[in-house]
Amino acid sequence: MVTNILILGDGAAGTIMANKLRFLTHREDAEITVIGNSKYHYFKPDGIHIPLGIKNYRDSVKNPKFLFNYGINYVRDSVTRIDVDNRNVSTQSGKNYTYDYLVIATGDRLVPEEIENFDREAHHFYTLEGSLELKEKLSGFNGGKIVIGPSSIPYQCPPAPYEFAFQLDRYLRRRGIRDKTELHYIFPLNRVFTMENVSNYVQKLFDEKDIIYHTLFNLESIDAQKKTVSSLEGEDQKYDFLILVPPHKGQQVITESGLAGDQGYIAVDRHHLNYGDYDNVFVVGDATDLPISKAGATAHFQSEYLSGRIASEISGFVAEELYDGSVACTTVTGDEKAFTLYFSYTRPPRALFQSKADYLLKWTSADTYFSGMLRGVM
Amino acid sequence: MEEQEKPTKVVDARGSFCPGPLMELIKAYKSAKTNDVISLYSTDTGTKKDAAAWINKSGNQLIGVFDREGYYEIVMKKTK
């Protein structure tokens, strides 16, 4: 009997899951179908390089149809309804798909429209288009006050805003306009990052690089006339140039299918990644409401666990393994240095060392991603 | 002992980790009315400090932090 595995989403999580599962199962035992409609597959971590002219965007973009290993059915379509009670997924083209295993890897979406004047005033590096536009605008910047930070939590790749601030500091110095520029960083918590020890480390680097930070700044509004951002806590910051992470939400189809509330993030078992009482419906990547980073690295670790589990079940061997929340990520600290964090649900990141080697790891990660990680070979 | 004011809203963020509970509290705050009392349940120890700091910074009133069985409760009043 052929087991029918249906994967929703052709981003990092869906692609890694499909490719890993294809490696671990025989084609006569498992049929793997992926439904997705991404225009292109963009390696988002390069958003901290592209706007500053450090990398060419062409190395960060691939056509998704060439990223799936042999033996995977890739269907370009949009999911319109997920009915887990009747094991049915409907798509925009009017087709219906059934499954033995469903893997929801639909990620999340940017919703800048939730903050008035965001599109008009703020720049960001969370999409390829946004990164290229930011590059153009920054080239015309000749000094003033830059405000940078996340507009709300959660958002993809939690270190990205401080990484960008560090990169920007170096970019401005190289252009000879750092002394004409004030760099201000805003963050919603009472520190500059979610994890306390990382936050202390980053805060020290901010002080060294004269990056001024404002904590407990939950963005409430953007006043386009006065060029001011205001926080829920009652603080105002004027800006000449605004770089904000747009607000994020889960996909609309998730909410409309009743799998999550208005925020669109699906509650899953933190150790098994299954949804509710369903032992054949799983969620990986940014679509979950798990208290860990929304990042490709998370999707990678989750896929490692989940592909092994599903493949084991198909082969009749059920091993009681648990996902422990493991994530590893390399984060840039400017001046061609970076550090790598390893952590899990219960293990906070420990020693933090900046090094050039870690920076090179980050610099080359698009190649590693497209040729290895995404292909399911690592 | 002074009787604790009855909460208008209860945010049960038990099992959720930083920054989840604080974000849940802020979400409830945004939809609350002035003088509403919001009670946050949390099992994440870091939230105790984070939530108190946020309540003070936002100019609202921290009524108290109470140890309960297996979790703790942070009670605030929206004064703005």
Q: How far is CA A186 from CA A46, A193, A334, in A?
A: 22, 10, 18
Identify whether A377 is part of a domain. Answer: no
Identify whether B1 is part of a domain. Answer: no
From the candidates B7, B18, B32, B48, which is the catalytic residue?
A: B18
Identify whether A338 is part of a domain. Answer: no
B6 interface with A at CB cutoff 8 Å: no
The number of distinct structural domains making up chain B is 1
Give the other-Cβ count within 10 Å of B20's Cβ: 20
What are the pLDDT digits (tens) for A15-48? 999 999 999 999 999 999 999 999 999 999 999 9
What is the average pLDDT across A294-303?
A: 95
Identify whether B58 is part of a domain. Answer: yes
Question: Nearest CA to A328 among A343, A315, A312?
Answer: A343
A136 & A237 share domain: yes
Residue A153 and residue B17: Cβ atoms within 8 Å? Answer: no
A197 & A313 share domain: no
What is the average pLDDT across A354-378?
A: 94
Residue A190 and residue B53: Cβ atoms within 8 Å? Answer: yes
B18 is an active site residue: yes
Q: Does the pLDDT value for residue A295 go beyond 90?
A: yes
Chain A residue numbers touching B16 (CB-CB < 8 A): 291
More confident residue, A38 or B3: A38
Beta bridge partners of A274: A282
What is the C-alpha to C-alpha distance for residues A32 and A16, in angstroms, rounded to an integer? Answer: 12
B65 interface with A at CB cutoff 8 Å: no
From the candidates B16, B17, B47, B55, which should be mutated to test the interface with A, based on the most A CB atoms within 10 A? B17
Whether the complex's predicted ipTM surpasses the cut of 0.95: no
Nearest to A190 among B23, B30, B50 (CB): B50
Mean pLDDT taken over chain A = 95
pLDDT of res. A317:
83
pLDDT of res. A248:
97
Beta strand extents in B1-80 (DSSP E only): 9-12, 37-42, 61-67, 72-77
Which residue range is the domain that position A313 belongs to?
Answer: 3-49+60-107+251-326
A130 & A193 share domain: yes
Distance from CA of B73 to the nearest CA of A (A): 19
User: Over pLDDT 90: what percentage of chain A?
Assistant: 90
Q: Which residue of B has its CA nearest to A235?
A: B58
Identify whether B3 is part of a domain. Answer: no
